[in-house]
């Protein structure tokens, strides 16, 4: 067997990866369907033989690496073998399925440290331990090319019965280092090297879940430093730090020159994740760091647009110095609050007595000292408080739904997403003064309903409809002309003026189905959406809101008597004026004005 001449195609490289699963025996199947399947064997004993003459690639490969070696681009039908330093045959391959010229590929991972030898020969070749490469006299001959990690490195020629050997090293880079702090998925953050001494760096960030390359940079900063600005989905990520000139690809692949010098650098991830000065070794060293991007916590639908809304951090410790901020889903900063009631009450509150428009919102909860801005910016310096806090996020302060949170380190900011619902519009469901039935008989859970007027006055509620003997709900009554809101939730919430719905999360839940007059309505409640509102209209039968009694279509003394009766009974269906929920002289004046205006022509 002879050893032909060889040409070096590229500078030596380092290939590194985080695929660290080690099996005692693993079948490697890069294409899942080809002839390039290989059985990776682990030696049980050393074969005391000298290594064959070989061409060094200059490659240093991490024990974490998942990578390929192949003969793609060769001009002959190749076969490829892999041996460890003792001559133990670890894997071999003949054809890559589908290539016009049958060439060879081996997919490898989790190799132990040491020197490895790859043999390149023509078809037919028989492999065995002890660097056994038996190439037949009638084997293919021609020009070959050897690639590692998809990068062509060497090329040469073999004749019949000839084989070429190339070698590379595998090195253990040591454990992955955790970063000091985490960042949030909505935030832009920086990954960078600083304080470089005798070193120009390159960096890359990979997704641990998929191996996808999220971004890389090669010494774009001052003094040979590297800098990436990212916003990535929640999950675990890995930073690779190498010397300048490295190339990166999906699958945690890092290709860096083995001739690269070493030096000193410092890694920073996010505003606070700063590591101590670190030495990067010469000759193709790569350091790995892991960090976590925290997800936004979803609170679900917390209120409807007609309801007053309050967010606060009351109830755990009134001297817990929080600072909260509210953004639209697009990142526009709407509002923020530091101290709710001055220096003696350091909790935070955002209060919207007229409600928030329907849509999605993002809430940030930090401590005193956080500076908020558009695009979910939360600037910190590490001097902020850490510790527990309570977040109350339900629509009313009387019995707020809440959750405990923890700022795990100084400068920690937690993000929450919630939605404000919009009442479903049922349109006109009947005429003023006519009896109308509203029920939830088609629902599959224990319901509770209420009707509010447009100003939030609570007109009537019902839990269980006695007439049908079920735990569904029923309201039967007439309404003056106007806009109304139907509340549908599970038993047993407390309902009060101003669209206030006091719930504790223990209410029944399920699918909503019912009728408002002849108009069907439907919806669903869940652990994150405890009730629905429906808007409906009562149309005038000729004479407007003051037409309260028969004969409808005419304003007369019967309407005045009906108004006075309802007013005396405290019926908020005749709550025609502010303040909502209170019957007073303003409602009498409003009725008289409506009555005096007469029937529309």
Residues 186 and 203 in one domain: yes
Q: What percent of the chain has pLDDT over 70?
A: 88
Q: What share of the chain is helix, strand, coil (3-state, %, to 5)?
A: 5, 45, 50
Reply yes or no on whether the pLDDT at 179 is more than 70.
no
Residue where a domain stops, chosen among 148, 171, 194 = 171
Provide the residue range defining the domain that includes 495.
424-539
Establish if 562 belongs to a structural domain. no
Residues 33 and 147 in one domain: yes
Establish if 574 belongs to a structural domain. no
Task: Return the residue matching tokens 């037949």.
Answer: 136
Establish if 19 belongs to a structural domain. yes
pTM given for the model: 0.69
Residue-wise pLDDT for 255-289, tens only, equals: 777 788 888 999 999 888 888 888 888 888 888 99
Establish if 561 belongs to a structural domain. no
Residue 306: its pLDDT value, please?
94
- The average pLDDT across 153-171 equals 92
Residues 59 and 123 in one domain: yes
Residue 537: its pLDDT value, please?
95
Residue 17: its pLDDT value, please?
34
Burial of residue 252 (CB within 10 Å: 0-12, 13-18, 19+) is buried
Residues 288 and 341 in one domain: no
Is residue 117 within 8 A of residue 165, CB to CB? The reply is: yes
Q: Hey, how many other C-beta atoms are within 10 angstroms of the C-beta on 379?
A: 13
Is residue 405 within 8 A of residue 296, CB to CB? The reply is: no
Residues 306 and 399 in one domain: yes
Whole-number Å distance between alpha carbons of 129 and 23: 20
Total length of the chain: 601
Residue 468: its pLDDT value, please?
61
Output the furthest CA–CA distance in the chain (Å, rounded): 120
Is residue 422 within 8 A of residue 545, CB to CB? The reply is: no
Six-digit token pair at 265? 């650098």
Establish if 584 belongs to a structural domain. no
pLDDT-derived band at 131, boundaries 50, 70, 90: very high
Is residue 79 within 8 A of residue 132, CB to CB? The reply is: no
Q: What percent of the chain has pLDDT over 90?
A: 53
Residue where a domain stops, chosen among 294, 329, 361 = 294
Whole-number Å distance between alpha carbons of 497 and 572: 10
Residue-wise pLDDT for 220-235, tens only, equals: 877 889 999 999 999 9
Reply yes or no on whether the pLDDT at 167 is more than 50.
yes
**Which span out of 39-53, 511-525, 552-566 was modeled with the highest average pLDDT?**
511-525
Six-digit token pair at 424? 């479903």
Residues 140 and 40 in one domain: yes
Establish if 374 belongs to a structural domain. yes
Whole-number Å distance between alpha carbons of 453 and 451: 7
Of 457, 473, 480, nearest in space to 521 by CA:
473
Reply yes or no on whether the pLDDT at 25 is more than 50.
no
Distances (CA, A) of 537 to 270, 318, 425, 493: 53, 45, 9, 25
Reply yes or no on whether the pLDDT at 24 is more than 60.
no
Residue where a domain stops, chosen among 381, 396, 421 = 421
Whole-number Å distance between alpha carbons of 459 and 475: 10
Establish if 56 belongs to a structural domain. yes
Establish if 66 belongs to a structural domain. yes
CATH number at 237 reads 2.60.40
Residues 66 and 31 in one domain: yes
Of 357, 207, 365, nearest in space to 292 by CA:
207
pLDDT-derived band at 469, boundaries 50, 70, 90: low
pLDDT-derived band at 467, boundaries 50, 70, 90: low
Residues 59 and 145 in one domain: yes
Residues 409 and 437 in one domain: no
pLDDT-derived band at 601, boundaries 50, 70, 90: low
Number of domains present in the structure of the chain: 4
pLDDT-derived band at 567, boundaries 50, 70, 90: very high
133-165 burial by CB neighbour count: b if 16+ within 10 A, else e? bebeeebbbeebbbbbbbbebbbbbbeebbbbb
Residues 70 and 96 in one domain: yes
Residue-wise pLDDT for 193-247, tens only, equals: 999 888 999 999 999 999 899 999 998 877 889 999 999 999 999 999 999 988 8
The answer to which of 15-29, 66-80, 259-273, 412-426 has the lowest mean pLDDT is 15-29
Q: Hey, how many other C-beta atoms are within 10 angstroms of the C-beta on 593?
A: 12
Residue 100: its pLDDT value, please?
64
Residue-wise pLDDT for 300-351, tens only, equals: 999 999 999 999 999 888 788 999 999 999 999 999 999 877 767 889 999 9
Is residue 523 within 8 A of residue 548, CB to CB? The reply is: no
Residues 27 and 108 in one domain: yes
What 8-state DSSP symbol labels residue 578? S
Q: What mean pLDDT, rounded, does the chain reach?
A: 85
Q: Is the dihedral of CA 110, 113, 119, 124 positive or negative?
A: negative
Residues 446 and 350 in one domain: no
Residue-wise pLDDT for 69-105, tens only, equals: 999 999 999 999 999 999 999 999 999 876 667 899 9
Distances (CA, A) of 191 to 38, 200, 266, 278: 39, 15, 11, 15
Which of 291 and 8 is assigned the larger pLDDT?
291
3-state SS of 118-180? EEEEECCEEEECCCEEEECCCCCCEEEEEEECCEEEEEEEECCCCEEEEEEEEECCCCCEECC
């Amino acid at each position: 067997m002879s050893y032909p001449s060889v040409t070096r195609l590229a500078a030596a490289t380092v290939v590194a990866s985080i695929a660290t699963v080690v099996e005692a025996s693993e079948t490697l199947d890069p294409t899942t369907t080809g002839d390039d399947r290989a059985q990776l064997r682990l030696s049980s004993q050393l074969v005391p033989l000298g290594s064959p003459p070989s061409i060094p690639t200059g490659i240093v490969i991490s024990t974490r690496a998942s990578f390929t070696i192949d003969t793609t681009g060769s001009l002959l039908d190749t076969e490829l073998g892999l041996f460890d330093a003792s001559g133990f045959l670890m894997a071999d391959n003949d054809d890559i399925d589908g290539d016009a010229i049958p060439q060879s590929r081996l997919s490898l991972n989790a190799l132990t440290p040491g020197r490895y030898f790859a043999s390149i020969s023509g078809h037919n070749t028989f492999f065995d331990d002890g660097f056994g490469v038996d190439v037949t006299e009638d084997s293919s001959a021609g020009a070959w090319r050897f690639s590692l990690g998809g990068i062509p490195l060497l090329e040469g020629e073999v004749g019949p019965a000839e084989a070429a050997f190339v070698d590379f090293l595998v090195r253990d880079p040591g454990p992955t280092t955790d970063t000091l702090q985490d960042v949030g998925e909505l935030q832009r953050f920086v990954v960078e090297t600083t304080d470089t001494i005798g070193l120009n760096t390159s960096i890359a960030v990979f997704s641990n879940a998929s191996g996808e390359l999220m971004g890389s940079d090669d010494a774009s900063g001052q003094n040979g430093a590297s800098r990436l600005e990212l916003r990535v989905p929640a999950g675990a990520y890995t930073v690779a730090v190498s010397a300048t000139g490295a190339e990166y690809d999906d699958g945690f692949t890092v290709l860096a020159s083995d001739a690269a010098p070493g030096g000193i650098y410092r890694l920073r991830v996010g505003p606070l994740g700063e590591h101590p000065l670190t030495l990067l070794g010469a000759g193709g060293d790569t350091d790995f760091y892991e960090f976590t991007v925290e997800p936004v916590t979803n609170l679900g639908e917390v209120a409807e647009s007609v309801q007053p809304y309050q967010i606060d951090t009351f109830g755990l410790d009134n001297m817990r110095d929080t600072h909260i901020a509210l953004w639209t889903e697009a990142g526009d900063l709407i509002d923020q609050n530091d101290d709710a009631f001055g220096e003696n009450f350091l909790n935070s509150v955002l209060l919207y007595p007229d409600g928030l428009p329907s849509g999605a919102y993002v809430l940030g909860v930090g401590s005193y000292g956080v500076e908020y801005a558009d695009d979910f910016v939360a600037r910190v310096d590490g001097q902020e408080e850490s510790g527990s806090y309570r977040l109350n996020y339900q629509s009313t302060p009387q019995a707020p739904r809440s959750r405990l949170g923890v700022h795990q380190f100084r400068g920690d900011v937690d993000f929450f997403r919630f939605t404000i619902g919009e009442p479903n519009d049922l349109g006109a469901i009947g005429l003023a003064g006519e009896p109308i039935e509203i029920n939830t008989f088609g629902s599959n859970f224990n319901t509770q309903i209420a009707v509010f007027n447009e100003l939030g006055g609570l007109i009537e509620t019902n839990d269980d409809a006695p007439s049908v003997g079920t735990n569904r709900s029923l309201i039967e009554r007439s309404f003056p002309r106007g806009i109304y809101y139907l509340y549908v939730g599970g038993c047993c919430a407390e309902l009060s003026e101003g669209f206030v719905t006091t719930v504790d999360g223990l209410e029944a839940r399920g699918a909503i189905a019912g009728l408002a007059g002849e108009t069907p309505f439907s919806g669903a409640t869940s652990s994150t959406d405890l009730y629905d509102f429906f808007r409906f209209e009562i149309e005038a039968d000729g004479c407007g809101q003051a037409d309260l009694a028969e004969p409808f279509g005419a304003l007369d003394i019967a309407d005045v008597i009906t108004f006075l009766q309802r007013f005396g009974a405290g019926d908020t269906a005749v709550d025609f004026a502010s303040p909502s929920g209170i019957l007073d002289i303003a409602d009498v004046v409003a009725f008289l004005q409506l009555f005096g205006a007469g029937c529309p022509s």
